[in-house]
Amino acid sequence: MSHIAFIGLGNMGGPMAQNLLKAGYTLSVFDLSPAALQAAADLGATVAMSAMDAVRHADIVISMLPASRHVEALYLGEAGLLPHIPQGALVIDCSTIAAQTAKTVSQAAAARGLVMLDAPVSGGTAGAAAATLTFIVGGEDAGLERARPVLSKMGKNIFHAGPSGAGQTAKICNNMLLGIQMIGTAEALALGVANGLDPHVLSDIMSKSSGRNWALELYNPYPDVMENVPASRGYRGGFGVDLMLKDLGLATEAALSGQASIPLGEMARNLYGLHSKAGAGGLDFSSILQLLQKAKG
């Protein structure tokens, strides 16, 4: 069975690595957070002293980092990982980053004889824990076929979006829609509550009506309407406001490069930006409800 190096054990990477361990893979892991490393060690992973140390004997390298700059810094440059990854190893970056960065890093990997895929995910932390993620892959067919057995231990759906970078483009389209949908859902719930409705009752009604959507039904932003979602634990964990802000920034960049119009995506970016500036950057993105509640007095 392949030996895997896993780099980035945060809200998503931690449970993804756990599912690979459960499936019987051996893992060398690295993260900047000692607590994340300890949690992975407790589950049977080998903790590496550095990312370089983690990839030394890897057949497959998986990274799950916050943003483009982290992925560039990890793989490229003088201290980058690419020269240290064994020849023939497959590299899979699951972070959500700019399509252009994914293409640049994958070209640099190819120049060293390595196949690299962009494989961002959808499904949130619950999907990561339950191994039901959707993988949205960009890169060569042959690389995807090699990745498939490993990805299937962490997810349920695997889509091939197209060549290198296409996975990131598709992911950004999805996340822009999610960001907009969450604001609309929070706005409707805040409106109902401001006019005397019970958020449980309103959620039930809209879930069986034409306003139904993923944010409402599986990730309800109103506290205590749904168990096991960030809104019911003080908006802790989940998908951070600053990560959503990053993704909407990537959508803006994609709109500029493709000369597309994204008026609602831009408005969503501004609202999450205001929310972040007010100190909520580390909270789950469903906390946008708080901004709307305040705005409505």
Residues recognised as catalytic: 171
* Interaction of residue 62 with ligand NAD, rule CB under 6 A: no
Among 12, 102, 147, 292, binds ligand NAD (CB under 6 A): 12
Which of 155/238 has CB closer to ligand NAD? 238
Paired with 62 in beta bridges are: 6, 92
Q: Is the dihedral of CA 254, 258, 264, 270 positive or negative?
A: positive
* Amino acid symbol at 158: I
CB 54, min distance to ligand NAD, A = 9
Site string for ligand NAD, 87-126 (x = CB under 6 A): --------xx------------------------xx-xx-
Contact stretch for ligand NAD (CB under 6 A) within 1-9, 149-157, 256-264, 268-276: 1-9
Q: 223-242 as b/e, with b when 16 or more CB fall inside 10 Å?
A: bebbeebbbbeebeebbbbb
Among 4, 17, 20, 31, binds ligand NAD (CB under 6 A): 31
Among 4, 6, 10, 165, binds ligand NAD (CB under 6 A): 10
CB 281, min distance to ligand NAD, A = 11
Distances in whole angstroms, Cα of residue 61 to Cα of each of 3, 93, 149, 155, 205: 9, 8, 14, 17, 46
- Residue 190 φ/ψ, nearest 5 degrees: -65, -35
* Residues 33-52 within binding reach of ligand NAD (CB under 6 A): 33, 36, 51
* Interaction of residue 168 with ligand NAD, rule CB under 6 A: no
User: Do residues 36 and 18 touch, judged by C-beta distance below 8 A?
Assistant: no
C-alpha span between 219 and 230 (Å, rounded): 8
Which of 52/197 has CB closer to ligand NAD? 52
C-alpha span between 55 and 159 (Å, rounded): 26
Number of residues that bind ligand NAD (CB under 6 A): 28
CB 142, min distance to ligand NAD, A = 25
The CB-nearest residue to ligand NAD is: 10
Site string for ligand NAD, 222-251 (x = CB under 6 A): ----------------xx---x---x----
Under DSSP, is residue 122 helix (H, G, I), strand (E, B) or coil? Answer: strand
Which of 174/207 has CB closer to ligand NAD? 174
Paired with 26 in beta bridges are: 3
CB 259, min distance to ligand NAD, A = 25
Of 102, 214, 91, nearest in space to 167 by CA: 102
* Interaction of residue 7 with ligand NAD, rule CB under 6 A: yes
Q: 65-102 as b/e, with b when 16 or more CB fall inside 10 Å?
A: bbbbebbbebbbeeebbbebbeeebbbbbbbbbbbbbb
C-alpha span between 148 and 140 (Å, rounded): 12
CB 207, min distance to ligand NAD, A = 21
Paired with 137 in beta bridges are: 160
CB 73, min distance to ligand NAD, A = 6
What is the binding site for ligand NAD (CB under 6 A)?
Answer: 7-13, 30-33, 36, 51, 64-66, 70, 74, 95-96, 121-122, 124-125, 238-239, 243, 247
